[in-house]
Amino acid sequence: MDNYNNTARRICLTGMLAALYLALNMVGFRAWSFHITFASLPVIVGGLLFGPVEGMLIAAIGEFFNQTLSYGVTPTTVLWLIPPAVRGLAVGCAALTLRKGPRSLDERPVLCYVICMAAALCTTVVNTLVMYLDSVIMGYYSFAYVFGSAVVRIISGIPTAVVVTTVAVPLVRLLRRQVVSRRA
């Protein structure tokens, strides 16, 4: 019965964090081809608490609803689920790898910041590739639009990752104290 409760708890928390992802994504700042949101907070929290599978699911489910509510279902909707899922995968894999040690990733602040900033860079690179594919498939390709904005997105992504990590680390510690999850 305890294993069932743990599974049910993880499913519920994954769904709640995906809903939080959607809400945080909707209230972000959008301009031209980039936007600044704190939607990555539930992805990082889920990755740190549960590992890569839940981190990816939180991002993919949240982004699916964001895409369908913002743009409807298009031929490239599935492509747009990949970049945020990469962040969940990167943070979750790092957390899973470090749980075997004496301290989890959220208990190693410098390493946690480095991992989250690297995950933000990976997300930006994959997002740029998805923008390219989307622009070619949908017929609006412009080199300046796709690749010119990448520098701006990288510059805005790093400070956003720092702020989100600053909030995520104490939040994960608080959730662990509340026995939401054991070390991921």
Please check whether residue 97 is in contact with residue 104, taking contact to mean a CB–CB distance below 8 angstroms.
no
Distance CA 173, CA 12 (A): 19
Dist CA 28 CA 57 (whole Å): 21
Identity at 119, one-letter amino acid code: A
- Rounded to the nearest 5 degrees, what angle is found at the Cα of 158, between the Cα atoms of 152 and 162? 150
Token pair for 20: 């939080």
Q: How far apart are CA 97 and CA 162, in angstroms?
A: 21
Query: Please, what are the domains in the chain?
Result: 2-177 (1.10.1760.20)
The stretches of 139-149 forming alpha helices (DSSP H) are 143
The DSSP-derived string for 129-144 is HHHHHHHHHHT---HI
pTM over 0.85, yes/no: yes
Contact 109, 98 (CB under 8 A): no
107-142 pLDDT per residue, tens: 999 999 999 999 999 999 999 999 999 999 999 988
Reading the block at residue 15, the tokens are 């769904």
What confidence tens digit (pLDDT) does each residue in 5-51 have? 788 889 999 999 999 999 999 998 877 666 788 999 999 999 999 99
